[in-house]
Amino acid sequence: MKSNLSKARRLFLDPPYKPGSTAFLHAQPFDTWRLDFALEDGEDAEVELQPQRIEARLDAHLAMMGLSEPRKIIWTSVYRPRSVTLPSYRRGRVFFAGDAAHQTPIFGGRGLNLGFADVINLTWKLAYVLNGQGHDALLDSYDRERRHVVRNALIDLAQSTIFMSRPTRGAALMRDAALQLSPTESFVHDLFDGHRAPKREGISLGGTDDKDPPKGAFTGNPLPDAALQPATGGSGSSVFLYDLLSQDFTGLYFSAQGKVPDSIQRFFAQMKDKAPFRSIVVGQQNETGAHADALDPDGAASKKLEAADGAFILVRPDSYVAGQWDELNSDQIATTLFSNLGRGAP
């Protein structure tokens, strides 16, 4: 169906053509729209899948929206929201990812994103182990890290799932109450909008979840991106922090003057010899003889990353922060790097 509707996801609660029910409208690529109708208790899925029943629902819904554009149905099926996860995402040489590992309800739009994040977490580890840069223990961290994120996502989506699916009479009553309040009481909106639910992407980098709170503001979380300037010329042009990352571990060293002490340069060279590691120096200015790879003239990136002069951030190939230090601590950094490779002491 061609339509000028904006691409926003639309949620219809208590539509007049079917009071008490729920429907979703999602924009898809190529003038395609996905419309989800909730089946109520007593409604038979096979009956409701009959073309004339679907046409009737569709007509009523589009009429409610004031849409009369020509349309063609290209796919129908029954979808059952599930909140499930495997107890382990690794079994020997087999790794489970995406829908094979977990199924999340559609109410927060997490399923595809979690699947991509699984693959991003796993692929660099597989590559490292296959080419000898990481030990097999590194692969176990895939299961620990991703199940932690998925479990949190299922918890975060539980409220909107209960709201949408109304599994009990009590849940249906509370939903009716919240809906009746929603025009005047904005606090109830958080109860039904899964997109407003928290998105916890943090992982536990230790052996046991949450036993050792990570140090540093972003440790265990994706590195926030930030705009920088090229160190050489190009005034007015910008480069983003993520453009500087690579398939290696990246050490971000923040230096106000853009200079790196000899001892730290030696440390960076040692790390490069022992592990897939490269250093990036972020300076507020690049004095003569300085080493900055990128500039942060107004200090906005440093402030965003909570990285003052002398701070160091170790970033994994999947852009997660492995560790963050206010001052470069070579022993801790080396230990953290090797731990993240599944190796023992450096």
Residue 155 or 308 with smaller CB distance to another protein: 155
Residue 190 or 209 with smaller CB distance to another protein: 190
Of 191, 104, 231, 221, the closest CA to residue 155 belongs to: 104
Question: Taking the complex as a whole, how short is the minimal distance between the CB of residue 174 and another protein, in angstroms?
Answer: 6
Secondary structure string (H, E, C) spanning 302-341: HHHCCCCCCCEEEECCCCEEEEEECCCCHHHHHHHHHHCC
Distance CA 79, CA 105 (A): 10
Residue 45 or 177 with smaller CB distance to another protein: 177
Residue 20 or 224 with smaller CB distance to another protein: 20
The footprint of another protein on residues 187-206 (CB under 8 A) is: 187-188
Total site size for another protein, rule CB under 8 A? 10
Question: How many residues make up the chain in this entry?
Answer: 346
Distance CA 149, CA 222 (A): 12
Distance CA 192, CA 209 (A): 29
The tokens 């169906």 sit on which residue?
1
In contact, 38 and 21? CB cutoff 8 Å: yes
Collapsing DSSP to helix, strand or coil, 137 comes out as helix
The footprint of another protein on residues 209-268 (CB under 8 A) is: none
Residue type, 297: P
Distance CA 289, CA 6 (A): 53
Question: Taking the complex as a whole, how short is the minimal distance between the CB of residue 182 and another protein, in angstroms?
Answer: 10
Residue 184 or 237 with smaller CB distance to another protein: 184
Collapsing DSSP to helix, strand or coil, 249 comes out as strand
Question: Taking the complex as a whole, how short is the minimal distance between the CB of residue 38 and another protein, in angstroms?
Answer: 19
Residue type, 147: R
Question: Taking the complex as a whole, how short is the minimal distance between the CB of residue 160 and another protein, in angstroms?
Answer: 16
One symbol per residue from 123 to 162: x for binding another protein (CB under 8 A), - otherwise; what is it? ----------------------------------------
Question: Taking the complex as a whole, how short is the minimal distance between the CB of residue 169 and another protein, in angstroms?
Answer: 10
Question: Taking the complex as a whole, how short is the minimal distance between the CB of residue 63 and another protein, in angstroms?
Answer: 28
Question: Taking the complex as a whole, how short is the minimal distance between the CB of residue 226 and another protein, in angstroms?
Answer: 35
One symbol per residue from 14 to 53: x for binding another protein (CB under 8 A), - otherwise; what is it? ----------------------------------------
Collapsing DSSP to helix, strand or coil, 37 comes out as strand
Residue 57 or 175 with smaller CB distance to another protein: 175
Pair type for strands 277-283 and 294-295: parallel
The tokens 């690579």 sit on which residue?
246
Residue 178 or 281 with smaller CB distance to another protein: 178
Spacing of C-alpha 195 from chain mean position: 12
Residue 69 or 185 with smaller CB distance to another protein: 185
The footprint of another protein on residues 156-185 (CB under 8 A) is: 173-174, 176-178, 180-181, 185
**Phi-psi category of 66—alpha, beta or left, where left has phi over 0 and alpha has psi -120 to 50?**
left
Pair type for strands 277-283 and 249-255: parallel
15 φ, ψ (degrees, to nearest 5): -65, 145
Q: What is the DSSP letter of 19?
A: T
Question: Taking the complex as a whole, how short is the minimal distance between the CB of residue 175 and another protein, in angstroms?
Answer: 9
Question: Taking the complex as a whole, how short is the minimal distance between the CB of residue 2 and another protein, in angstroms?
Answer: 41
Residue 113 or 165 with smaller CB distance to another protein: 165
One symbol per residue from 302 to 341: x for binding another protein (CB under 8 A), - otherwise; what is it? ----------------------------------------
Which residues would be at the binding site for another protein (CB under 8 A)? 173-174, 176-178, 180-181, 185, 187-188
